[in-house]
Amino acid sequence: MANLKEVRERIRSVQNTQQITKAMKMVSAAKLRRAQDAILQMRPYADRLNKMLRNILSNLEGDAQTAFGEVREVQNACIVVVTSNRGLCGAFNSNVCKAAMATLEEKYAGLYASGNLTLMFIGKKGYDFFRKRYPKAVLNREFVDLFNDLSFDNVSTAAKRLLTAFETGEFDAIEVAYGKFKNAATQFTITEQFLPVAKIEKEAGDKLVADYIFEPGKEKLLDYLVPTILQTQFQKFLLDTHASEHGARMTAMDKATENADDLLRELRISYNKARQEAITKEILEIVGGAAALENG
């Protein structure tokens, strides 16, 4: 059994760690509220815009076209991996990376082998995860620090870069792996196709008609409307991940604090046992010394 000094030092160390986990939980809870409000207000708007965009692109006629709905043979692809910049949020970052890995290995294994797959990272943890595991992929960390400012103007710089790359043919497909926020205890990690825009599937014999009135002309409006909707959709990916990160960190720190309580309970029991053992040993030595004096 460990001596009293060692047990006391371990108790002190666990208590200090527990103070840190409690503080981190409180900070994450405060940040989570703001991040949760942002994504919950943004999501219905972004989802409705995305549905409208898919409907429009599914029913465009020959007089107006946009490159962002064009499906072509995939010779070059890009996977955008959206993770956090910091750790201590449980398995959140590794789950996002695993979702990106699954897409890479199941959908783009051939492109990776030929060196035609690009991995773009938003968040440092994703870059750290992939840079050693996939040396043949083109690693782009141009926007790794984007989480420092999640305003539309700042996020749109990365979205515009992707839109331009798709429009010019640099990429034929773009996927985004991110964390989708549900609540503080639940986050889903998924990979979603960003470009080309997925069209609405038509049922047999069904004819979808986008009942929209375009003013001014359809082509002129689409040139502005489609990129703006896609930039909004991209911002939603980041806001979802941001809220998921803080939810995962708050849950992880809460669990760490509970585990520290359990460990402290066990250490205090060990400390009391060691203390009782030391006291018993001293009593036995005193009794033994007294008996020796009497016999002497």
* Environment class of 134 (CB within 10 Å of its CB; exposed 0-12, middle 13-18, buried 19+): middle
Single out the residue of 176, 187, 158 nearest to residue 245, CA to CA.
Answer: 187
pLDDT at residue 67 in the model: 84
> What domains are there in the chain, each with its CATH number?
4-20+254-295 (1.10.287), 21-248 (3.40.1380.10)
pLDDT at residue 291 in the model: 80
Q: Is 78 a catalytic residue?
A: no
Q: Are 92 and 184 in contact (CB under 8 A)?
A: no
User: Which of the following is catalytic: 56, 57, 77, 89?
Assistant: 89
Query: What does the alpha-carbon distance between residue 124 and residue 140 come to, in Å, rounded to a whole number?
Result: 11
pLDDT at residue 204 in the model: 45
pLDDT at residue 6 in the model: 86
| pLDDT tens-digit series, residues 164-187 | 999 999 999 999 999 999 988 889
pLDDT at residue 52 in the model: 83
Q: Which residues of the chain have pLDDT under 50?
A: 204-205
